[in-house]
Structure 1
């Protein structure tokens, strides 16, 4: 029952998102696809999920050839990374960068749509002193891209932790640490000259965990009913995310870099932690990410930059079991490695989801049916039909040649039968008839001749005279369906919330 309700909730978000695909603009939300684990799905499986629903944006942390191959010709736009371990050779010799581009990038571009290259990651947090290597490596990467004629299509930047700031409160006093001035000044000059974003990783979770007496949980989760006032500007802050972003804006302005835009390349909340990490729970992770999505897609901006677009990547797609540190480090994922959801999210951004109430969601008990929309395109119907008959666990025997529902041999007719079977299998709720806006709920029985459309006869099974075998799934196949559709949903919202520049 919990799996079924969770699936219905996920599919609800999925259908709503795809309905709005044609109307998406403004700030962008993406997902970080980390792979520091030994039990994750293959890149090909992840790419298949992405391709099925025309997902376009993803961040990866290296230039793994298998990943680039998997995402070739999918239309996905990738942010790829150069690890800190490669900074020295990339900074020392242009030939090393040129070789890397020639072997690891150019053979797969533009089939693999790379739009950003991040040179180094949080170098100020690195135990090795590699900060001085960042800008030389960035310059060499840019030079290599210019040789290939790609410098206007692929932006070069570097990601940073909030540790680059020596002060972040109040936001108006935000300032870069003088310890890093030697590399930050040329870095900012590079970003301004090349119109590249300053990439920052923002984690209110850590601020709360390290100082719960000074930071309220509600303030970290976008749930605060009170306001924190910046005494210098009079600006009011209701959440830590905005305060940290504005601290960075003020730090940039203090150095007269007012044109550099900010991009959040990581943010999120862990769903599980060590015994002392009491805030690392599925409920808090769900609350933070749902409120974050709502905050971003509404183009709320920040108190210092109201209405300004802000691109954000949520960390991360999967839990990663090889990450060192406290238990929370391995539990930032929206999905388990088997692709089942860790918790449900309201991807519409309307409100936080109450997991208990959603788990008790019931359907219409067979008084309605679900059919394919006559306005849907053939491609959309074919994709949805293929999904329903495979990952959706629908028994599509009845629409095969010589079977009761094969005639009329049309895509709309076959999709209608499959849509309804899925709809009834999953509680006959409104949300199970979404199919990206291609399903339509009707009250008139669409059955004809010997083709009888299924209706709900119990909470966990359906019946149809065209196929007397119960269409219920085993718990393992249900988990698989939940995982696949949940994965599609998480990746689907990226295509909606990203705007093509």
Structure 2
């Protein structure tokens, strides 16, 4: 008996040690998974590019996460085999029917989700958009709609892969500052408690729409614009929560922390927040003087840097603030003030509104064997790009056939895209004999493979998929969670370790 007890004790010690290693492995994975920035895609524009053109733009910038405001079947088909992680949406008009009838939820899942996976990488469903703020009469069926959709996913054996949540507006928090004192509007307590219980039960994320632009405008000068734009604050303008003494370098961080505090008031542990919408308009009406190209460019570039550093807000530093920028295209048909039509990063013809570091979003790096790729510099003068393109395809003897109409690299039909292909072809051919990547200052070397779809840039190490690095993670949880398509391998590893302990 004594010997058995000793053996059992040693076995337990071995098991505890090995389980400690398992936890270490998971913590290491959480660091590796990191944060992401995605893009919203709206369709309220007069000339909507074809699904294939939309996908070409996404892949050309290695955008790996998108949110659709509906479940457009044509676009979902075009996204197949791209690896791009897709959040589809139940429109506000559909919430009532789905919330009242489980069969309607099952039908919606079959038509808009099950019919496309696994070829199309759908990872989340957004149930409505700001339902409590925009159509409060539907609030009683919002939580039932979420449960009905989740049950339909369970029936289709897709619940392990796809999360269900609902984007809520910062409007539900009347006083977001100081963050430590922020609470949801008490009139919605019952519904919000139901939402939080669902999210915790299904291990889903809290979806938040947070716009520092509106927070700044509505503050009537209380907060400096630097605070809204992620710019460095002077010592006399430091923003500090008087209760926690946390310093807030940006209104964005404060908004997310305010929401975490509002959630904690319901006695739920920190449910990870994904920011499903944020952005800054680049144009506005006469009274929207802060809606400028300069401010939009500053906000979104600084947002990308902030999110991709992987840290959370002061109260939850270990949970990354995964974010979707609003939005890919300018939606000229949207109702409301001019600013509502001017959040897009691109015009419908694929040309960019302003220079943006989108290539940092994908996080995928594929370095060729010759020292990088030569591409057009973001924001370079158009006439300079035209001169460089003409020279590369002429005296430079670059092979520019792929950027002709109807060829793989023609779309998106922009001078920047065409110049990038021509510059790179010239550079890859001629660098060994002294060719440079300059083109009168309109070109730059990058380690990010610019290939996309069937458009393969010379020097790519992975021509079979156009050089695009498949995304490794998605909007499925905080640091510490593993992407759903990695779970079988991960749990297999855990099981193997545990078995070793037993043996």
TM over 0.5: yes
User: Separation in 2 of the partners of 1:56 and 1:359?
Assistant: 28
1:148 is matched with which residue? Answer: 156
2:129 is matched with which residue? Answer: 121
Change (3 A) 1:233 1:387: same
User: Separation in 1 of the partners of 2:283 and 2:411?
Assistant: 35
Runs (4 or more) in structure 1 with deviation over 6 Å come to 355-358, 360-363, 394-397, 412-415, 423-426, 496-500
User: Separation in 2 of the partners of 1:188 and 1:274?
Assistant: 38
Change (3 A) 1:390 1:207: closer
Change (3 A) 1:329 1:362: closer
The worse-fitting range, judged by mean Cα deviation, of 207-216 and 55-64 is 207-216
User: Separation in 2 of the partners of 1:438 and 1:99?
Assistant: 39
User: Separation in 2 of the partners of 1:43 and 1:419?
Assistant: 37
Q: 5 Å matches for 1:213-362?
A: 213-223=221-231, 224-225=233-234, 226-347=237-358
TM-score by length of structure 2 reads: 0.69
How far apart are residue 238 of structure 1 and its match? Answer: 2.1
Q: 5 Å matches for 1:147-166?
A: 147-166=155-174
1:484 is matched with which residue? Answer: none
Change (3 A) 1:434 1:169: closer
User: Separation in 2 of the partners of 1:178 and 1:256?
Assistant: 15
User: Separation in 2 of the partners of 1:37 and 1:389?
Assistant: 19
Unaligned segments of structure 1, at least 5 residues: 1-22, 371-384, 398-411, 440-491
CA shift digits 1:406-462 (9 cap, x unpaired):
xxxxxx999834999xx98972548445473589xxxxxxxxxxxxxxxxxxxxxxx
Change (3 A) 1:386 1:429: farther
User: Separation in 2 of the partners of 1:284 and 1:186?
Assistant: 38
With CA pairs under 8 Å and 6+ residues apart, which has the higher RCO, 1 or 2? 1
How far apart are residue 315 of structure 1 and its match? Answer: 0.5
How far apart are residue 495 of structure 1 and its match? Answer: 5.3
Unaligned segments of structure 2, at least 5 residues: 1-30, 362-376, 393-406, 452-467, 476-481, 484-503
User: Separation in 1 of the partners of 2:421 and 2:35?
Assistant: 40
Contact 1:388 1:419 in 2 (8 A): no
Q: 5 Å matches for 1:65-84?
A: 65-84=73-92
User: Separation in 2 of the partners of 1:390 and 1:178?
Assistant: 48
Change (3 A) 1:177 1:68: same
1:319 aligned counterpart, secondary structure: coil
Change (3 A) 1:36 1:304: same
The question of 1:88 aligning with 2:96 is answered yes
User: Separation in 2 of the partners of 1:221 and 1:104?
Assistant: 37
The question of 1:436 aligning with 2:448 is answered yes
CA shift digits 1:316-362 (9 cap, x unpaired):
00100111110000000011111111111245779xxxx99965998
User: Separation in 1 of the partners of 2:359 and 2:57?
Assistant: 20
Contact 2:257 2:314 in 1 (8 A): yes
How far apart are residue 207 of structure 1 and its match? Answer: 1.4
TM-score by length of structure 1 reads: 0.69
How far apart are residue 53 of structure 1 and its match? Answer: 6.4
Contact 1:117 1:157 in 2 (8 A): yes
1:320 aligned counterpart, secondary structure: coil
Contact 1:55 1:495 in 2 (8 A): no
Contact 2:285 2:337 in 1 (8 A): yes
User: Separation in 2 of the partners of 1:438 and 1:64?
Assistant: 27
CA shift digits 1:197-224 (9 cap, x unpaired):
0000010101122233222211111113
